[in-house]
Amino acid sequence: MDEAFLSGLRDLLQEQCRVPELPRGWRCTSAMLAAHGFAYGGDFFVADRRLSDDGRDRLEMVLVDVCGKGATALPDAVQLAGALRGLLTAVPEAQVLAATNTYLLRLPSDESIATAVQVSVDLSSGRYTVRSAGHPPVLRWTGTDCELALDNARGTALGVVEDPELDISEGILLPGDALVFYTDGVVERPDSDIDTGISWLLYAARRALTTAPVADLPARILEQVARGDDDRAVLVLTRE
């Protein structure tokens, strides 16, 4: 693909990956790394802040890993990011991933597949819901106990079956707590399984969180992950 075309797509995708201004006490940070040999990747997130029907201030955010890697995944990522931004504003939160699945199934390509994790947060109370579609499990950091643990399982990828299984977990983020999201490129290695990679991430993240602010975690994790055959992304939502 033409370099100028790819650069334009990258800029468009980065424009989509913006978190709206959050109220005092909330912070979102992220870091991304494209596959080896590429300046562009297919991992992205979209976010929207809005008032719910009952007047609550809510943040909706979805982290996505499209099928493919590097420059080959970029056009699909841009297309899906635009569709997801529209769905976040037009569809009830509980239906966003199902609607995304329907959208992918209707695309002509057989490779229109993605994993995704969605978080919906009440920014007043800290109550959250996480929905996972084939994505690596979210991690939860509990500030009072300095404890990092798995928050949910994986579910089924989008664009594969009509009715994908979505893993759902709920909880409350208190001041000092955080949710850690990441794509499978962070934890998958050619010489080991994904469970081994998740165990490594838990260890590396705990060590990083004891020596630096939670908001610095995405960059500190990706510093320890060599560029490989898949794109990588880490995103942290923190209640400070």
Residue 70: what pLDDT? 56
Q: How far is CA 224 from CA 45, 218, 227, 233, in A?
A: 22, 10, 10, 13
Q: Is 104:112 a contact under the CB 8 Å cutoff? A: yes
d(CA 202, CA 124): 28
Region of 81 on the Ramachandran plot (φ > 0 left; ψ -120 to 50 alpha; else beta): alpha
Q: Which residues of the chain have pLDDT under 50?
A: none
Q: Using alpha carbons only, what angle is made at residue 70 by residues 64 and 75, rounded to the nearest 5 degrees? A: 65
Question: Which domains are seen in the chain, by residue range?
Answer: 3-239 (3.60.40.10)
The gap from C-alpha 147 to its chain's centroid, in whole angstroms, comes to 21
Residue 188: what pLDDT? 86
Residue 154: what pLDDT? 84
Question: What does the block give as tokens for 51?
Answer: 């008032």
Q: Helix, strand, coil: what percent of the chain each, to 5?
A: 30, 30, 40
Residue 211: what pLDDT? 86
The gap from C-alpha 213 to its chain's centroid, in whole angstroms, comes to 20
Class of residue 204 by CB neighbours under 10 A (exposed 0-12, middle 13-18, buried 19+)? middle
Instruction: Assign 198 to helix, strand or coil.
Output: helix
d(CA 19, CA 123): 14
Q: Using alpha carbons only, what angle is made at residue 26 by residues 234 and 235, rounded to the nearest 5 degrees? A: 5
Q: Is the pTM of this model over 0.95?
A: no
What stretches of the chain show up as alpha helix (H) in DSSP?
A: 3-16, 70-90, 96-105, 194-209, 217-222
d(CA 117, CA 132): 4
Residue 151: what pLDDT? 92
Each residue of 100-131: pLDDT tens digit? 999 999 988 776 899 999 999 999 999 999 99
d(CA 141, CA 237): 10
